[in-house]
């Protein structure tokens, strides 16, 4: 039996967009008889207390998980061991470039815009030791492809750039793309459901999985929640976190109902939504959130109304 997962970064309380993605990931997993796992992606952007809050919030919505929760910060040696395996095959090199160096170098010919131009790919040992005087090295993948294709259940076939992306940052922390691939394989996750802002990362991750000898999971990148200006929903948009909404007297079950409604699903319960769930019928456009309207809609009706 395979598994799906929800993998929040504990950077703050969950907002309506994160919760909607969590519900979708749960629906995809449960409707395909998969286990559903929770992973805390706390390699950076951590806010103290956020993990505990997020776990309580997911439980309050009725999203249940199987198995043990994984916390990435507990697993640092495992990521570095994967890098050692790649290194032994000559697939890793030290990179001394700053962001500024990369921006100034511009893109290599035939490379995708923004792709690492390969400045440090072929340094000699003496060039490396000279550069190492000024800056600790990040570790990059010596990619043998420029692009890679994946299949997404909602987007169809998707081909995206694969450059020599960072595996280990120059502060020694494993990079997101590495940790995701190692963890998904470790947990036998064969279904990745997440926001479509990560669609362009899927080719890199799928390619890395292949190099590490792991199967490529199935992907479903779901539409994000956006504000009225079409930007990704964020705290600046008003009362968009579950915390802010429930503080105004709204019950979490009503939040679930609004989220399910936004997905065109029966809104009486997660269970009812699960019975009706069919990915083919999901909305194909982002969900536009106007926090004032949502909170208004969710507020317990004052008497006489």
As a residue count, the chain comes to: 305
CB-nearer residue toward ligand GLU: 9 or 143: 9
Helix (H, G, I), strand (E, B) or coil at 259: helix
CB-nearer residue toward ligand GLU: 120 or 189: 189
Closest among 200, 150, 154 to 177, alpha carbons compared? 200
Least distance CB 115 / ligand GLU (angstroms): 21
9 touching ligand GLU, by CB under 6 A: yes
241 touching ligand GLU, by CB under 6 A: no
Which residues in the 178-207 window bind ligand GLU by CB under 6 A?
180, 194, 198
Assess contact for 214 and 249: CB atoms under 8 A.
no
Least distance CB 9 / ligand GLU (angstroms): 4
Closest among 22, 21, 28, 23 to 3, alpha carbons compared? 28
Least distance CB 72 / ligand GLU (angstroms): 9
CB-nearer residue toward ligand GLU: 80 or 198: 198
41 touching ligand GLU, by CB under 6 A: yes
How many residues bind to ligand GLU according to rule CB under 6 A?
A: 7
Determine the Cα–Cα distance for residues 193 and 27; give it in Å rounded to an integer: 10
| Alpha-helix residue ranges (DSSP H) falling in 32-136 | 50-61, 76-88, 99-105, 125-132
Assess contact for 113 and 133: CB atoms under 8 A.
no
Helix (H, G, I), strand (E, B) or coil at 67: coil
Ligand-binding annotation for 132, yes or no, is: no
Element holding 262 (H helix, E strand): helix 252-262
Cα dihedral 9, 12, 14, 17 sign: negative
267 touching ligand GLU, by CB under 6 A: no
Report the residue from 4, 8, 17, 118 that binds ligand GLU according to the rule CB under 6 A: 8
Part in contact with ligand GLU (CB under 6 A); list of ranges 6-14, 75-83, 117-125, 220-228: 6-14
Part in contact with ligand GLU (CB under 6 A); list of ranges 1-9, 108-116, 127-135, 165-173: 1-9
CB-nearer residue toward ligand GLU: 78 or 198: 198
Count the alpha carbons within 13 Å of 258 in the hemisphere toward its beta carbon: 24
CB-nearer residue toward ligand GLU: 94 or 153: 153
78 touching ligand GLU, by CB under 6 A: no
Least distance CB 143 / ligand GLU (angstroms): 19
Which residues in the 107-126 window bind ligand GLU by CB under 6 A?
none
Assess contact for 117 and 107: CB atoms under 8 A.
yes
The secondary structure of 91-109 as a DSSP string is -EEEE---HHHHHHH-PPT
Cα distances from 281 to residues 160, 257, 262, 264, 285, in angstroms, run 26, 18, 12, 8, 12
CB-nearer residue toward ligand GLU: 35 or 41: 41
| Residues pairing with 226 in the sheet | 232, 288
Part in contact with ligand GLU (CB under 6 A); list of ranges 3-11, 71-79, 164-172, 269-277: 3-11
Q: Which residues are annotated as a binding site?
A: 5-9, 41, 95, 97, 116, 120, 176, 194, 235
Q: Which residues are annotated as a binding site for Zn(2+)?
A: 95, 97, 116, 120
Q: What is the binding site for ligand GLU (CB under 6 A)?
A: 7-9, 41, 180, 194, 198
Q: Which residues are annotated as a binding site for ATP?
A: 235
């Amino acid at each position: 039996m395979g598994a799906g997962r929800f993998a929040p970064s504990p950077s703050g309380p969950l907002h309506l967009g994160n919760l909607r993605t969590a519900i979708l990931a749960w629906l995809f997993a449960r409707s395909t008889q998969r286990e559903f796992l929770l992973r805390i992606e706390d390699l950076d952007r951590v806010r103290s207390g956020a993990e505990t809050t997020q776990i309580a919030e997911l439980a309050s919505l009725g999203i249940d998980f199987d198995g043990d929760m994984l916390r990435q910060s507990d697993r640092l040696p495992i990521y570095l061991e994967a890098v050692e395996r790649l290194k032994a095959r000559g697939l890793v090199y030290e990179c001394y470039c700053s962001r500024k160096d990369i921006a100034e170098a511009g893109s290599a010919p035939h490379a995708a815009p923004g792709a690492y131009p390969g400045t440090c790919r072929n340094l000699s040992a003496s060039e490396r030791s000279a550069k190492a005087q000024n800056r600790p090295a990040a570790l990059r993948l010596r990619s043998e492809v420029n692009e890679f294709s994946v299949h997404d259940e909602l987007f169809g076939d998707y081909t995206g750039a694969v450059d020599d992306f960072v595996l280990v940052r120059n502060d020694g922390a494993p990079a997101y793309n590495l940790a995701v691939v190692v963890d998904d394989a470790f947990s036998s996750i064969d279904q990745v459901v997440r926001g479509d802002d990560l669609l362009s990362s899927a080719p890199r991750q799928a390619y890395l999985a292949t190099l590490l000898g792991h199967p490529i999971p199935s992907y479903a990148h779901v539409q994000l929640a956006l504000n009225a200006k079409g930007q990704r929903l964020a705290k600046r948009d008003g009362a968009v976190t579950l915390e802010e909404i429930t503080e105004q007297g709204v019950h979490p079950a009503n939040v679930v109902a609004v989220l399910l409604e936004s997905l065109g699903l029966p809104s009486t319960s997660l269970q009812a939504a699960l019975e009706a769930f069919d990915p083919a019928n999901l909305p194909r456009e982002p969900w536009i959130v106007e926090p004032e309207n949502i909170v208004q809609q969710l507020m317990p009706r004052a008497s006489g109304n």
